[in-house]
Structures are given as structure tokens and as C-alpha cells.
Chain A
Amino acid sequence: MLLTAEKITMKFGGLVAVDNVDFAIDSGEIRAIIGPNGAGKSTFFNAISGQNYPTSGRILFDGRDITKLPSHRIAKLGMTRTFQNILLFDDMTVLENVMVGDHINIKTNMLTEILCLPHVFREERRCVEKAEEMLDFVGLLPYKDQRSASLPYGKKRLLEIARAMVSGPKLLLLDEPAAGMNAAESAELVDTIRRISQRGVAVLIVEHNMKVIMNISHRITVLEQGKVIAEGEPAEIQANERVIQAYLGKEA
């Protein structure tokens, strides 16, 4: 297993946002987490990617215990993410945003940068090339010199994906990547996620858009009020009585 989360509980005061969740994802898998608003999906993401530490439980990633690691260390180990409420570097260009995403692979420090050692410029060129390749991958290359804040909503989400992907992670977490996208954009997103998966990256995705979810995910985990109420292949989930009651029924 690439990621194993054991008995994860996350409390905010008296509120139990994530309740004793066991979860595992294999490398190469596309996994979806669905559930009504407030089910604890984003909170679970924050717990496994180090934004918040779980109140109790244990997280293993790629064979290492990452439960108490801060998020920048987890990113170094190969888990990156996007955010439900789009967090970009607004005053930087689109290209620079993606270049920051490759931070962990650039082997320079402030001293070598000031001294202009030759490898600094090599690393910089390589970083630009990788970032441009990644922008091309998500279809944002024509926008590379724009300020990222000036991008339309849907493209901002793609930029977040490019920034998270450029360092070559093993696991990518996407928190509602299709939110605010129109039909054409979300169809393109499905294609992009497939191509990410083809690169050997495991994808964990929280999404409300059922068309996207049923289309791409190998397995689906359903959360309700912080608890896992079902897990299985898309067809099984669509047929699950409890899920229909809790979630799908209301949407359809």
C-alpha cells in the first residue's frame, strides 16, 4: 500500500470531524472520496497531508510513519495536493507558481545562488523547462507570463494541479478540482487526471461532480459525518442502499 491511514480521528473541540477512519490507497490507483458537505473530507485531506495533525491515529506513506510530519516534509516524500479554496501565489506569474512547485528538486541554496556557481543556472534552466512542460500538460502554457490571480477560475484549478505535479509526486490529492468548472472544462479535467494516472501517480480525489467521479475512479470511499459508510467500485457504490439514502439520492 502506498498510503495507509489507521484509525484517524480529528476533533475540533467537541466536534468529531473525522471519526476513526481506516483508509488505504495503492500506488497507481485513482480513488475518490465522496460524501455530503461537512462530512469531513477536507479535514481528512488536511490530516494526511500534514496541514493539521490528527487527534489520534497513525498514517504510513511509502513505508514511513508521517503522522507527526509537517506538510513540507510530507511533500518532500512525494505527496502533494490542491486545495478546495484554491491557494495560489497570486502575485507571481503562472510559470513561477509552477516553478515553486519544483522547490524540493532544485539543488541550490542562497549561498550558491549569490556566488553564481554554474550548476545554479543549470538547475534554473531545468526548472523552467520542467515547469513549461507541466504547463503544457495541463494546457496552460499560453498563460505562463500572466499573473496567476488574473486567470479564470477553472484555469486556476488546473494551475494548482500543475504546481502539485511538477515535482513528480507519488500521490496527488485533489480537493474538489471540478468545482466551478463548466461541462467542457470538467471533461478536460477527467482527461488530465487520466493522463496523470498514466504517469504512475496515485490520485486521491474529493469531488461532488458524479459524472467525473464515476468516470475515472477505480474505487470510491463514502464518508458521512466523519465515518466511512461504504467503500467499493463505482458500480457497487451506485447500487449501495445506504449511500443512496445518505447522498446520491438527494443529488439525483
Chain B
Amino acid sequence: MKNTNNSAKVLVPLTAGLALMVPLFLGNNYYYDIFIMAGIYTIIGSGMNLLLGFTGQLSMGHAAFYGFGAYITAIGMKSYGLPFWLCVILAVGFCFAMGMLLGSTSCKLSGIFLVVVTTGFNTVVNLIMVNWEFTGRSFGIPGIPKPDWFGSPMNKLQYCYLVLAFVFLALFVSYRVVHSKTGRAFQAMRDNAIAARSVGVNVNKYKLLVFAVSAVYAGVAGALYASNIGYISPTSFTSNVSVTIITMTVLGGLGDLCGCIVGAVVVGVLMEALREFGDYQLTLYGVLIVVILIFMPKGLMGGLRSLYRRLCSLVSRRRTPAKQEEV
């Protein structure tokens, strides 16, 4: 316990510092975009981790919330000339409400039934995007502006830092939630709902809450996505994307706050790296993920942690005999 706490004191500022430095060395738009996407995946992954990792509920509908955030921002900025931050606030509010709505089904359903309902939700939302004039039908919405930064649109480097600020905020919120009453209630109802109720946890209330909050994460990620890429269409928000979000979270490590960073970076980079394999991209990606999970059932972060522990015990084993000699 002590060991991990101490190492966190070093690792957290180190990782944060590294993340702050990286954009300065990226140099071109292609790398900026990979960095930005990894950040966006981290945000959406931390939300999914709260839901799946900490309360054990599966949502196959998170790409829909991601889409809400993106479309609200695209339409808000382009058609109504709203500032970016206002669009983010609108996305947060809308996703919170829709998250509660989808979450309410989880009070009655679980397991495979919840999967079916949330997949259905994503499909319906996607169909609306494809067919509604207002959302630009299947063509989508081009020409989404960048946020203003003192009178001129943000450049890619500034945008990297905007995304990073939201990443830090998302991780901070998750950290606070997990380390207080709410997070304990989440974990308690994941481990045993009957026992959680027996000590006064209103399980249904917390189910709604966690769905709503993780939907907000996805919505914010969507807002950042739309304004960065400048052009959105329904294909970016299908239930396949929901599967990617879940894969990323599981790959990083469920119930591990740092897991979603690793998951996001790995999936973000993998998708780019495997792009040249064309049609085989998805297959290779699937195989890699299965292999990783076979060897690291607790995800990449779980694997890293056990590697770290092994190193620590190796070091201390070397040290102990020396101490004994002194005595």
C-alpha cells in the first residue's frame, strides 16, 4: 500500500509533466491529431471506466453521447455562432439528461438485456443523425470552426493543450469520485447490490448517476472531437465506436484510474499504426487485443503494476541481505 502511494507521488507529476512536454515536440499536424485523439479517448475512457470498471455496468451506447457532444458543438458553433465553451456546457447538460434516461433502463435490466437496450439506443440515435436535415443527414456537418483564442482561432498546438486541460479535469473528477462516498457506493454495488442496499446505498440512484456522469465524459470528448476535426458525419458515432470505447477501457485496465490513459494511447496509436494494413487493420487490432488480455487479464495497467511490483521486490531482495550484514 505505502509503496504504491509513494510511487504515485512521483509518477503522477512525472506523467503530467511528460504529457505537457510532448506537444512541443510533435511538429506536424498528423502527430498533433494523434495526440489530440489519444486525449479524447482518455476522456471518454475514464467515463467508461467509472461505469464499467467501478460499477460493473456495460453500455454499448456511449458513441451516441460522444455524437451528442459532437453535433451540439458543430451545430452550435457553425449555425448559431456560439462560443466553444458554451457548446461544451450545453453538451454536458444534454448528455447528463440523456445518460439518466439510458441509465434508468439499467435499474430494471442487466447483463445481456442491458447490452441489447444500449445497442438499440445507439442505433436509433445514429439513424436520427443519418436521416435528420438538421444534423446534415448522412453527409454530416463540414466547416466546424475552432475555438477562439484571444480573437483568433486556436492552432493545433494550442488545441493540444486545451484537450490536455480537459484530460486533467476528467482524471481529477474520476479521482475525487473514486476516493469518496460516491465511488465507494459505486464499487459496493458492483461487488454486491444486495449488500450495498442493506447498508443504505440507494443502488438505483447511483446507477442513474454513473450513467449520467459517464455520458458527460463522452459528450465533452465529442465536443473536442468535432471542433478539432472540423467535419463530422454519423459513421464516427456508430455502435462499432462504442465497442472501441469499451475495448480501450478493458485493455487499459478496469477499475484502474490510469488504465484509460494507457488504453487510449495504445488504441489511438494502434489504429494509426495498423492503418496501412487496410482491410486487415481491424482483424490485427482484434488479435492483438485478445493476446494482450490473455497475458494481462487486468489490462495493460494491471500488467505494468505487477511488473513494477516484481521489480520492487527484486530490488528489496538485493537490499535485505546487505542490511542483515550490517546487523
B-binding residues in A (CB < 8 A): 49-51, 70-72, 75-76, 80-81, 83, 87-92, 96, 99-101, 103-104, 106, 108-110, 113-114, 116, 120, 123-124, 127, 145, 163-164, 167
Assess whether B198 is in contact with A51, with CB atoms less than 8 Å apart.
yes
Assess whether B199 is in contact with A100, with CB atoms less than 8 Å apart.
yes
Interface centre among B1, B191, B203 (most CB of A within 10 A): B191
Assess whether B213 is in contact with A110, with CB atoms less than 8 Å apart.
yes
Task: Looking at the assembled complex, report how far the CB atom of B123 sits from the nearest CB atom of chain A, in whole angstroms.
Answer: 30
CA distance A108 to B195 in the complex (A): 21
CA distance A109 to B185 in the complex (A): 11
CA distance A243 to B144 in the complex (A): 81
Assess whether B201 is in contact with A51, with CB atoms less than 8 Å apart.
no
Task: Decide yes or no whether B197 CB sits under 8 A from chain A.
Answer: yes
Assess whether B191 is in contact with A103, with CB atoms less than 8 Å apart.
no
Assess whether B187 is in contact with A92, with CB atoms less than 8 Å apart.
yes
Q: A80-B198, A89-B192, A100-B196 are in contact. Are A113 and B180 (CB under 8 A)?
A: yes
CA distance A51 to B255 in the complex (A): 28
Task: Decide yes or no whether B310 CB sits under 8 A from chain A.
Answer: no
> Cβ of B192: which chain A residues have Cβ within 8 Å of it?
87-90
CA distance A71 to B194 in the complex (A): 9
CA distance A120 to B180 in the complex (A): 8
> Cβ of B200: which chain A residues have Cβ within 8 Å of it?
72, 75-76, 103-104, 167
Assess whether A89 is in contact with B198, with CB atoms less than 8 Å apart.
no
Assess whether A89 is in contact with B1, with CB atoms less than 8 Å apart.
no
Contact with A along B156-187 (1 / 0, CB 8 A): 00000000000000000100110011101101
Task: Decide yes or no whether B110 CB sits under 8 A from chain A.
Answer: no
Task: Decide yes or no whether B130 CB sits under 8 A from chain A.
Answer: no
Residue of B nearest to A173 (CB): B198
* Contact for B177 among A99, A113, A124, CB less than 8 A: A113
Q: A113-B176, A113-B181, A114-B173 are in contact. Are A88 and B195 (CB under 8 A)?
A: yes
> Cβ of A103: which chain B residues have Cβ within 8 Å of it?
181, 184-185, 188, 199-201
B interface: dominant SS: helix
> Cβ of A50: which chain B residues have Cβ within 8 Å of it?
197
Assess whether B182 is in contact with A110, with CB atoms less than 8 Å apart.
yes
Q: A100-B199, A104-B199 are in contact. Are A109 and B191 (CB under 8 A)?
A: no
Assess whether A87 is in contact with B184, with CB atoms less than 8 Å apart.
no
> Cβ of B194: which chain A residues have Cβ within 8 Å of it?
51, 71, 83, 87
26 A/B residue pairs, CB under 8 Å, sorted by A: A49-B198, A72-B196, A72-B198, A72-B201, A72-B203, A75-B199, A76-B200, A81-B198, A87-B192, A87-B195, A88-B195, A91-B255, A99-B184, A100-B185, A100-B196, A103-B199, A104-B200, A109-B182, A110-B177, A110-B213, A113-B177, A113-B180, A113-B181, A114-B176, A127-B181, A164-B199
Task: Decide yes or no whether B202 CB sits under 8 A from chain A.
Answer: yes
Assess whether A89 is in contact with B173, with CB atoms less than 8 Å apart.
no
Assess whether B197 is in contact with A71, with CB atoms less than 8 Å apart.
yes
Known pairs A90-B191, A90-B192, A108-B182. 13 more at Cβ < 8 A?
A72-B199, A72-B201, A75-B199, A83-B195, A88-B192, A89-B192, A91-B187, A92-B184, A96-B187, A103-B188, A103-B199, A109-B182, A163-B195
CA distance A92 to B173 in the complex (A): 20
> Cβ of B195: which chain A residues have Cβ within 8 Å of it?
83, 87-89, 163
Residue of A nearest to B185 (CB): A103
Task: Decide yes or no whether B36 CB sits under 8 A from chain A.
Answer: no
Assess whether B176 is in contact with A145, with CB atoms less than 8 Å apart.
no
Sorted nearest first, the 7 A-B pairs with minimum C-beta distance are A75-B200, A104-B200, A89-B191, A87-B195, A113-B180, A100-B188, A71-B197
Assess whether B184 is in contact with A100, with CB atoms less than 8 Å apart.
yes
* Contact for A96 among B176, B184, B201, B202, CB less than 8 A: B184
Q: A113-B176, A113-B177, A116-B176 are in contact. Are A92 and B191 (CB under 8 A)?
A: yes
CA distance A70 to B205 in the complex (A): 13
Residue of A nearest to B203 (CB): A72
Assess whether A113 is in contact with B182, with CB atoms less than 8 Å apart.
yes
